[in-house]
């Protein structure tokens, strides 16, 4: 039985009706032209023949005599998890509203920890696929891998693969036949590891505390200097969703010209879009927004979620585009430095403790919940090239994630071919008219292209080399002999 890591377990224990830990894709398919019969019905019939595999065939095992774990279910009822829905001439906005209702509800823990929906009846003729899985089983990066595995690069490939089929993972070590002595030694090692991790977390928090005083170069101390930008409305299970897409090739080119990664560019565009959106709502900021960002851990990390979530400030309110990018690059550089010097166990324990505190306060009825960050920004890679499912082109593969305690907005980006798809999920009272935020993010990208589109726009320019003629004149004026020609060919 796979054991749950501290982070996996926290996602089960700390889940509430207002804070469901559901993650999943919303996929839009364009059925092939001239398809005979009902595409959605035929797809469901074929999906019912695909057996679930790890971790999708796991159920939650809560025992009084052992640590909580997940275990494979003997004969899972696939029909209870695969649903067929038909809408009435629905627009994209109608579809998003319907999917938000599905995303808001808690998963039943008595069986497999996922649900999947095949939805037709859209006005434009497309078919939607929506799936949700408990985040305690799987992280975003592995979920993208699962979705990639169930799609084909060949439009003529009519074989159907399912989201819930097994995802390749490194084999777990067998512990069933371990002797009593081995078990005692393992338990002792785990206890010693827990003590070391706790000591490492205390050290990390101390370093973060010094950073808040302007000392050192650590990441900021959690819960400090987080603005009230998105404090509107009570904590609620209701969700709203919007999305936009950016041209990935162009984003990469601008980033390369300015010495920045795609993630740096994404954070910069989102920061610009957020400031524009808040400014339109007469909530212009003086202090930087604070982002909470999942980062992938080393291969030695344990559990279904091999990530840590770290907080850092974005650009200043009045910063130019170049200044904003430079500030974000500096902060993401600190995060990378922290990943190199801290173990996976320390970072996962730090993440668990920091994110548990706001949940505890919400549960005991504290109205003014701790603000951990203003937004979560996740970028778990993506899907390369054009993809198809039963011959239908995948036109969108949008991510839907978790709005965790301590924040009210989640932004997740996933690539599909040459597009970066950005999904915005929020509590609607805190982020009203969320479609405006998506639109202003798109406009921010256009603004960034103008500001940073030329090479080196955000970097410090190198001093220009003096022309050869100018160097000759300078040498004659100084009475210096001309340099001898080298036999080594000059580099171009």
**418 in Cβ contact with 245 (< 8 Å):** no
Residue 460 in domain = no
Residue 1 lies in a domain: no
pLDDT of res. 469: 40
Collapsed DSSP state (helix, strand, coil) of residue 454: coil
Is beta strand 82-90 parallel, antiparallel or unpaired with respect to 114-122? Answer: parallel
Angle between helical axes of 248-257 and 434-452 (0-180°, round to 10): 40
Domain of residue 19, residue span: 6-149
- Residue 229 has what pLDDT? 87
- The torsion angles phi and psi of 57, rounded to 5 degrees, stand at -95, 10
User: How many structural domains does the chain have?
Assistant: 2
Instruction: Using the structure block, give the residue that is written with the tokens 């009593």.
Output: 180
Are both 326 and 442 inside the same structural domain? yes
Helix (H, G, I), strand (E, B) or coil at 383: strand
Tokens of 137: 């089983």
Q: What is the CATH number of the domain that holds 361?
A: 3.30.559.30
Whether residue 118 is found in the same domain as residue 221:
no
d(C-alpha 27, C-alpha 24), whole Å: 10
- Shared domain check, 201 and 136: no
Specify the pLDDT at position 356: 85
Q: Which of 129, 149, 169 is the last residue of a domain?
A: 149
Structure tokens at 201: 């977390």
Mean pLDDT per 10-residue segment, the chain (492 residues): 77 91 96 95 97 94 76 91 98 98 96 97 98 92 88 95 81 40 37 52 63 67 83 90 97 95 96 94 84 78 73 92 96 86 81 85 73 90 91 96 92 96 96 97 96 59 40 45 41 36
Residue 395 resides in a domain = no
Please list, residue by residue across 264-273, b when 16 or more beta carbons sit within 10 angstroms of its beta carbon and e when fewer do.
Answer: bbbbbbbbbb
CATH number, position 136 = 3.30.559.10
Determine, yes or no, domain membership for 75.
yes
User: What pLDDT is recorded for position 463?
Assistant: 37
Residues found in the chain: 492
Q: Are residues 198 and 132 in the same domain?
A: no
Of 99, 119, 149, the position where a domain reaches its end is 149
Same domain, 135 and 54: yes
- Per the domain annotation, does 224 fall within a domain? yes
Q: What pLDDT is stored for residue 9 in this prediction?
A: 87
pTM (two decimals): 0.83
């Amino acid at each position: 039985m796979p054991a749950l890591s501290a982070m996996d377990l926290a996602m089960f224990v700390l889940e509430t009706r207002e804070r469901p830990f559901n993650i999943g894709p919303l996929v839009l398919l364009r059925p092939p032209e001239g398809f005979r019969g009902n595409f959605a019905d035929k797809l469901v019939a074929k999906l019912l023949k695909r057996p679930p595999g790890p971790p999708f065939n796991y159920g939650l095992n809560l025992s009084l005599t052992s640590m909580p774990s997940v275990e494979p279910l003997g004969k899972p009822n696939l029909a209870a998890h695969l649903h067929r829905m038909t809408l009435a001439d629905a627009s994209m906005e109608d579809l998003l509203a319907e999917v938000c209702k599905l995303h808001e509800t808690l998963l039943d823990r008595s069986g497999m920890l996922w649900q999947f929906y095949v939805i037709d009846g859209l006005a434009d003729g497309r078919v939607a696929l929506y799936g949700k899985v408990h985040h305690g089983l799987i992280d975003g990066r592995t979920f993208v891998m699962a979705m990639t595995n169930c799609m084909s690069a060949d439009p003529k490939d009519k074989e159907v693969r399912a989201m819930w089929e097994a995802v390749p993972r490194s084999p777990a070590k067998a512990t069933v036949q371990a002797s009593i002595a081995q078990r005692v030694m393992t338990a002792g090692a785990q206890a010693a590891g827990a003590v070391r991790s706790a000591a490492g977390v205390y050290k990390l928090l101390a370093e973060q505390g010094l950073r808040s005083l302007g000392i050192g170069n650590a990441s900021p101390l959690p819960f400090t200097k987080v603005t009230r930008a998105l404090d509107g409305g009570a904590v609620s299970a209701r969700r709203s969703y919007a999305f936009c897409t950016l041209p990935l090739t162009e984003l990469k080119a601008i980033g390369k010209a300015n010495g920045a990664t795609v993630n740096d560019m994404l954070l910069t565009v989102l920061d610009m879009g957020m400031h524009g959106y808040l400014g339109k709502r007469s909530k212009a900021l003086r202090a930087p927004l604070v982002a909470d960002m999942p980062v992938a851990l080393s291969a030695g990390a344990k559990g279904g979620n091999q990530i840590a979530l770290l907080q850092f400030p974005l650009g200043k309110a009045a910063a130019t585009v170049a200044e904003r990018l430079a500030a974000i690059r500096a902060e993401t550089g600190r995060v990378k430095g922290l990943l190199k010097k801290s173990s996976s166990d320390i970072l996962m324990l730090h993440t668990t403790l920091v994110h548990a505190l706001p949940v505890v306060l919400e549960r005991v009825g504290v109205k003014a919940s701790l603000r951990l960050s203003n937004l979560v920004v996740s970028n778990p890679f993506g899907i390369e090239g054009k993809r198809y499912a039963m011959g239908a082109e995948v036109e969108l593969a949008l991510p839907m994630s978790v709005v965790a305690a301590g924040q009210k907005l989640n932004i997740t980006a996933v690539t599909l071919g040459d597009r970066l798809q950005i999904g915005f999920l929020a509590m609607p009272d805190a982020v009203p008219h969320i479609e405006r935020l998506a639109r202003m993010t798109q406009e921010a990208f256009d603004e960034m292209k103008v500001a940073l589109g030329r090479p080196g726009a955000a970097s410090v320019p190198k001093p220009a080399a003096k022309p050869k003629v100018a160097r000759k004149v300078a040498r004659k004026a100084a009475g210096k002999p001309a340099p001898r020609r080298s036999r080594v060919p000059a580099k171009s």
